[in-house]
Amino acid sequence: MCDNKVSYHVTSGYDYREVKVQCGRTDPYGSRAVCDECSSDHHKMEEIERHEASVEADNQSARSAGWGEF
């Protein structure tokens, strides 16, 4: 991905705090953080979708073998 940071606001007690995550890493909600620059690039989004599909296929294989997820 790139070196950009993606900003998230997560609950912290009765308030919110800002969490910045590097583009391409896991966000606080368990998904992939993608910055605006990368999300507008058609080729990068195709690459991300292929990778996510590959990860899901690996996890399905592992679950079917009784190993759980990676």
Tokens of 65: 């073998």
Contacts of 3-9 with CB under 8 Å at 24 or more apart are 4/35, 4/37, 4/38, 5/35, 6/33, 6/34, 6/35, 8/33
What does pTM read for this prediction? 0.74
44-70: pLDDT as tens digits: 999 999 999 999 999 999 999 988 777
Tokens of 13: 């007690």
